[in-house]
Structure 1
Amino acid sequence: MLLWSLLVIFAAVTEQADSLTLVAPSSVFEGDSIVLKCQGEQNWKIQTMAYHKDNKELSVFKKVSDFLIQSAVLSDSGNYFCSTKGNIFSWHKRSNIVKIKVQELFQHPVLTASSFQPIEGGPVSLKCETQLSPQRLDVQLQFCFFRENQVLGSSWSSSPELQIPAMWSEDTGSYWCEAETVTHRIRKQSLQSQIHVQRIPISNVSLETRAPGGQVTEGQKLILLCSVTAGTGNVTFSWYREATGTSLGMKTQHSLSAELEIPAVKESDAGKYYCRADNGHESIQSKVVNIPVRIPVSRPVLTLRSPGAQTAVGNLLELHCEALRGSPPILYRFYHEDVTVGNSSAPSGGGAPFNLSLTAEHSGNYSCEADNGLGAQHSETVPVSISGPDGHRRDFTTAGVLWGLFGVLGFTGVALLLYSLFHKISGESSATNEPRAGCRLNPQEFTYSSPIPKMEELQPVYVNVGSVDVDVVYSQVWSIQQPESSANIRTLLENKDSQVIYSSVKKS
C-alpha cells in the first residue's frame, strides 16, 4: 500500500514538471528589452521561482515573477531556463531550456582618415564607419570624435565625418570615434589610431616692400612683407637693417607670410634690409633689398640774373628756380602773371635756369614751380620792371613821372610862347616911334616878320640827351614861329603838326 502511494506521488511530480515552461522573445537585438516568463504553475503552489542562464542562477523570487533585461547586450546571449520549488513535500520543477542570441544592432565603428601622416598645414578628413543590421535600418545613430581624450568638433553629430581644415605638429596623437543610438542605449567605440603630422622645413624666403603708389615716400606708410614658399608649423619672422644688424621686429604665426609696418618713413630710413624665417628646423635669410626713400620737393626759390645793370628791352634775363630738398629728377615750370612761359628739368636734382629775351611786355610778376611727382610746390612771386631801348623804364611809376614832366614842360612851352608874342609887340612899337628920315631898317633883324612857313615844312629839333647810362625820359615842347597878329596864336596852338623839341630830364 505504501509503495503504491509513492508511485502515485512521483507520477504527479513528473506530470507537473512537464507543465513548467519558459517563454522568451524569438529575436533579440542590442538595446532591446528581454522579458522571460516562467509559466505552468499556480501561485499557491510556488514557494520560490528562479531564473537561470548557462546553469547560473540569475535571480530568485518568492512568487511567480517575470525576469527583465532592460537593454540587451551581446553578452546576454546564452541558454536560459526557470525553476520552481513547491510547498507540498518541497517538490522541485525545472522548465525547458531556451537559447537566446542577442544580435548586433550595428558593427563596431572603424576610424579612417584621409591621411594618417598629413603634411603640416594641410586638411584632414576623419570618418567613423559602421553598418546597421539589415533588419534595423531605421535605427538612427550619432557620432563623436576624440583626440587624446579631448572631444573634436561640436561633440555629437549625425554626420559620420569630421573635417579638420589644417593639421599642425601639435595635433599629432591618438584618435578614435564613437557611435551610439539616439536613445543612448548602445554606444560603441572604435580602436585608437595614430596620426603623425609631418613638418616641412622653411624654403625660399623673400622680402618685398609695399607702399602707396609703389614708391617709398618720406612721411608715408611702408610695409615690409616677409614670405616663404614652403614651410609648415609656427613660423617665426624677423626683420633687420643691414647697416645695424639689429632686429626691427618679430612675429610668430601659422602662415607663410608676415608684415612689419613703419607708420611714417623718414629720410634716414633709406638703406638695405632683409628678413629671416624659422619653423624649428633652420633659420633661413632672404636676399638683401635696397629701399630708397623719395623726398617731396620743398618750396622753391626764384632768383633773377641779368648780364647788365638793368633789365632792359633786348637784354637776356635768366630765371633760376631751385628747391633745396627733393628727390630727382625735378621739373621746374616758370610763370609770368600765372601764365607758363617755359620749363626746365634737373635730372640730378638742384636748380634749373630758363632764359628769356626781354621785350616791353615782359614787365610784371614772375614765379616758378618745382615738381618731382610727389607733389608740386610754388615759389613766391618776384616783380620785374623792364627798361626801354634807351634806358627808360616801362613801368607804371615811370609813366606817372613822365606824364608829370609833360605837364610841367607843357606849361613852360606856353610861357615861352606868350613871352615871344610880348617881345614882338614891343618891337613893333619901337619901330613905329623911330624917325622916318636918315634911317633904313636891316631886313635880317625882322625874323618874326617873315611869312610863316607851312606847318608841314617844320622839322623837329632834338637836343642831346646825354649818356646812355643815365635813366632819362623825354619831354615834348611845341615850338612855333611868332605870328604877325594875336589872332594867329590860337590857330598855331591848335595845329598838332607843329615843330617839336625834346629835352632830357633825369628820372628821380
Structure 2
Amino acid sequence: MQVKIQPSLRIGTILLLFLFTSEEACAEPIIKSVKLIIQPRNEVQRSANVSLRCQAEVSHSPGSHHNYKYLFYKDYLPLNTDQTNATDNIFSIPDARVGHSGKYSCDVVIENQKKASSVKDLTVKGLLTPVLTVDKLRLTEGDDVTAICAAEGETELTIKPEIKAMPSTNVIEGDIINFSCRVDLTHQRNSELKIIFTHGRTTLDLNMTQKDYQMMAKANDSGEYECISKLGVVHKSSTVNITVKELFSMPDLSIHPAEVFEGEHFTISCQISSFASERIQREDITYVIFRDKTPVINYNRYSGTAGKVTNGKYMCMAKAKGISKESWTVLFGAKVLVSKPEITVDGPVITDEPFWIRCHSVNGTLPITFSLKKNNITLNRTKVFYSHEANFLALISSPSDISSYFCEAENNGQVSIKMSERLLNVTVIVPVGKPLLTVLPVPENIEEGNDVTLICGISKGSPPIRFRFYDSNHTPIHTTEVQSNSSSFVLSRVNREKSGNYHCEAFNREDMLSKSDIVTVKVSLAKWKKVLIAVFCMLLVVLLVLFVVMGYKAKRGKRKMAAKLSVKPSSPKSDDSLTLSLTHDTLYSTHTVEVNNKESVWSERPPDVADQDSLQSQNEGDVEYTEVVHPQPVDPTQIPLRKGTDTVYSELQTSQGDPEHINHQTLLEYAELNHDLPDPVD
C-alpha cells in the first residue's frame, strides 16, 4: 500500500526541521572552566616581567561568535576589566616589585555566565637598598635637618583605612550608628590584609574588610573609634570621635529616713536628673524597683515597714526607647534596737584592787553606747563600733559596794536606753588582815606538862580562811581552813623542847598571804620539880655541912696537936686574974685569955635575971665565962709559917674565988672551939 504525503504535511515537516536547525545555531555557550597561569613562574625576582594569563574553556555552536569579559583580582580586590572575543587574556606586571606579591585570580563572564579561576600566589623577592639623604651635611647645634630614606623604583603599600560613622558623629542614646572601614586597593589585592575596629581598649571587630559595624549608641559609647589596617608588620589607622548624648540620666535610688529601726516606716524613691527632651518626655520613662534582684514594684516609689522581711539590696531600673539604666545598689537593713545589757565581772573581785566590769548586749545595731553607773552616777561611757560589749575598770572598798554597779546601753538616743540588772552574785574577796598570834596560858606562865593553845586571828578577810602555824624551825605544824576569822591549835603536854619562836599565817588566796609577829614561848620546870630541886639542894647543903664538920673532926683526931694550958693568978686577991695560955701546932695567931675583975678586950655580959638566979645557986667560987672573939684576919699568904707551937691567950674574968676554982677543962675546950671562929661584924 502506498502512502501519499499530502502537500500540507510536507510543508509542516520542512518547517519543523528549519526551526530545530535554527535553535541549535542560536544555543548559548557554556563556560566549562577558567584557569589562571602565572608566567614565567609563581616566584620571581624583583624587576622580572610577570604575565597573568586567564584561559577559559567554552563550549559553543559552530560558527558562533561571543564576547568574553575578563576580570583580574589581587588579594580579592579588582585590578582591571578587559573585554575581547578571544578565549584567553593577559594581565602584565612589568618590572615586578615586592608590592606586587599577593594572591591573584580571574573571572570570565560570557553573556549571563560567570566563572572564576582558582587563586594563585605570586611572590616577588628582593628589595633595593634604601638610600638615606639629608639636606645638610654641615650642621651646628640647633639646626633643623631633613632626612629621607628611599628605595627608588619600589612601591610603598597604600593600606591606610578610611573610617566613616553614619548618620552622624553626634547622636543620642538609642540611635543606630554604622561604622565602615575601607582600604583603597585599586592597584592591588592582598588576602593577608586585616582591618581591626576598636573603641578605646575594647576590640569591637577583628576583621572589617568586607562588612560594616553597627551598634545602638549608649551614653558610655562616647569617645574615639579607630580602624587599624594590618598587613604583615605594617600598621595604618584612622580614627573618628563620637559624641553620644544621654537619652536620660542614670537613675538614683534613695531611702528615707537614712537610718530606720525595726517597726519604723521608710520610703524608697527612684528618679532621674535629666533627659533628652527632643526625643522623649518624662512620662515616657518607666521604673522598676528591685530587692535582691526580684521586682518589688513597677513604680519609682515604694513604702514599707522596716523589719527582717524588708532587709536586702535595693536597686531600680529606668527604661525609655529601648534604653535601660540601673541605679547603684543600696544595702538596706533595718536597725535593731539594743537589747538589755548583761553585766558581769572577769574573775573574783578583791577589795581595794581594780577589776574589770563587762557590759554585753546580745542584739543591737552598731554603734552602741555603753555607760557604767554606780547608784545612778555615771562613772564612764564608751561607744563601740565593732563589738557588742564594753569593759570598764572599777574599784570597791567593801563587799557591799559591788551591788551598786549597773550599766546602760543605747543605739538610738534616749528612746532606746536599756538598763542592766545590778551586779549581784559576785564573789568578793576581802584580803586577810595581819594575823595576831595569842598564846594561852601567857608565855611567862607555861610549865612542863601544860597544854598550850595557839590562837591565830585576823581582823578582816573573806572566808574560807586558811590558817597555818609554824614552830621555831619555820616548819608548818598545823594547817586548817575555817569559815571564821580565827583558828586555834593545841600543843598537848609541852616539854622544854617546845620552847621557841612561834608564828602563824592566814590567807584566803595563795597570793594574799599575811604573817603574824613572832611570839616566844618558854616552857619552865613543873612546880613539884622546883620543890624537889629545892629540897634536894637543901639536903645537899646539909649533907655538905655535915660532911665538912665530920671531915674536920676526923681530920682533927688524926692531927697531932700540942696544947699547953697555964693559969697564972695575977694576985691572990678577989680580983685575981689568971692567964691561960694555949698552944697548938697550927697556923693560928696567939690568943690570950685573962681572968680578972677588970675590963679588958673581953666584954662583960650583964647577967640576966635567970642567970642571976643560977648564979645565986652556984658557989661564989664558980668561974663565969664571957665569950669575946677577937677577930684577926688570917691570910695564909701573909702569915709566915712558924715552927713549933703557937700560943693562944684567953683572958678570963672571975667574979671571985681562987684560981683553983677554975674549970680548966672548960677553958681548954673553949679555946679549942673558938680559935677558928670567923671575924665578928662591927
User: Which category describes the TM-score, using the shorter chain as reference length?
Assistant: 0.3 to 0.5
Which has the greater radius of gyration?
A: 2
Give the number of the structure with larger relative contact order, counting CA–CA contacts within 8 Å between residues 6 or more apart.
Answer: 1
- TM-score normalised to structure 2 length: 0.34
Task: Decide which structure has greater helix share.
Answer: 1
- TM-score normalised to structure 1 length: 0.44
